[in-house]
């Protein structure tokens, strides 16, 4: 097996990096923590802390990743932890590589959120405190007059029963590498999930980069959803119109471009860890 650590950070360097990371995360999660203390829910940003299981305190914790020794600091990440997580690392690597290899689809227009409320009464929706912009009938009509091509299982599984047969794909939990593609908003947000599942084997800065991407994507995801969130300061992306479709696709391209280097960094981290675990 390889040598445990080949990189040594002097104390001033690693303490500065740790402090910078903590300050960055404090700025990112401060409003969420304040809302949580007041018992105030947020239909857009709570998702980052409810759907994803990484707690703010975990996100704030700094690690340089595997293979780095901190002079005057805590012990490095042990090789045994890398070896014990080899199957997880290999699975994440396979999914990321498959996703990156697939052509990007910029014509889904966020229809997954609409399919999640198809033929429901407004008080049955996931965010029932917020009205549907087009009402029940108008929302259902958008679903029925658009092609739905959701490739992400964790979005598809929340479709209502009448909406599922309308999807052109049938993604499942076991075949994610067959379907996921790099323009998918959920695949972009899930880079954060992959990063924190690899923590502390990967640098905390990479996890925070993926968190920021997930936060920004989530905003677009819900601006394009059928809910009226203008009271929270979110202007809708009206994907039911040609102009809205153009706006959505342009934003989607931007997020795909931001996500590509993060996905590649995660791929490289996985390859480094897999090599170390042999």
The tens digit of pLDDT for each residue in 228-258 reads: 999 999 999 999 999 999 999 999 999 999 9
* 127-153 confidence digits (pLDDT tens): 999 999 999 999 999 999 999 999 999
pLDDT at 2: 46
Mean per-residue pLDDT over the chain, rounded: 96
* 51-83 confidence digits (pLDDT tens): 999 999 999 999 999 999 999 999 999 999 999
Burial-class residue 217 by CB neighbours within 10 Å (0-12, 13-18, 19+): buried
pLDDT bracket for residue 4 (50, 70, 90): very low
Q: For 164-177, what is the mean pLDDT?
A: 95
pLDDT bracket for residue 175 (50, 70, 90): very high
Contact by Cβ (8 Å): 84, 278:
no
In percent, how much of the chain has pLDDT > 90?
98
Phi, psi angles (nearest 5°) of residue 5: -140, 135
pLDDT at 94: 98
Q: How far apart are CA 248 and CA 255, in angstroms?
A: 11
Q: How far apart are CA 106 and CA 58, in angstroms?
A: 34
Q: How far apart are CA 234 and CA 54, in angstroms?
A: 25
Q: 178 vs 95, 98, 169, 172, 181, CA distance in Å?
A: 9, 7, 11, 9, 9
pLDDT at 44: 98
Q: For 37-50, what is the mean pLDDT?
A: 97
pLDDT at 180: 97
* 210-226 confidence digits (pLDDT tens): 999 999 999 999 999 99
């Amino acid at each position: 097996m390889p040598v445990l650590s080949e990189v040594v950070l002097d104390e001033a360097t690693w303490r500065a990096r740790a402090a910078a990371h903590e300050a960055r995360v404090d700025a990112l999660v401060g409003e969420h923590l304040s809302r949580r203390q007041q018992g105030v829910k947020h239909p857009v940003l709570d998702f980052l802390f409810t759907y994803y299981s990484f707690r703010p305190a975990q996100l704030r914790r700094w690690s340089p990743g595997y293979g780095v020794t901190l002079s005057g600091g805590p012990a490095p990440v042990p090789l045994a932890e890398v070896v014990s997580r080899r199957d997880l690392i290999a699975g994440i690597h396979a999914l990321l590589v498959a996703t990156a290899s697939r052509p990007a689809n910029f014509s889904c227009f966020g229809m997954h959120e609409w399919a999640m409320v198809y033929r429901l009464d407004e008080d049955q929706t996931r965010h029932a405190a917020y009205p549907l912009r087009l009402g029940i009938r108008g929302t259902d009509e958008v679903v029925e007059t658009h092609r739905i091509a959701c490739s992400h299982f964790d979005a598809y599984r929340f479709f209502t029963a009448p909406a599922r047969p309308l999807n052109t794909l049938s993604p499942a939990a076991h075949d994610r590498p067959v379907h996921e593609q790099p323009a998918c908003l959920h695949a972009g947000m899930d880079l954060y999930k992959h990063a924190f599942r690899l923590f502390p084997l990967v640098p905390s800065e990479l996890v925070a980069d993926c968190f920021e991407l997930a936060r920004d994507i989530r905003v677009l995801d819900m601006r394009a959803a059928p809910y009226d969130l203008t009271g929270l300061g979110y202007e809708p992306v009206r994907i039911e119109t040609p102009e809205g479709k153009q706006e959505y696709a342009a934003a989607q391209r931007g997020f795909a471009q931001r996500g590509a280097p993060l996905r590649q960094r995660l791929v490289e981290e996985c390859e480094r860890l897999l090599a170390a675990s042999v």
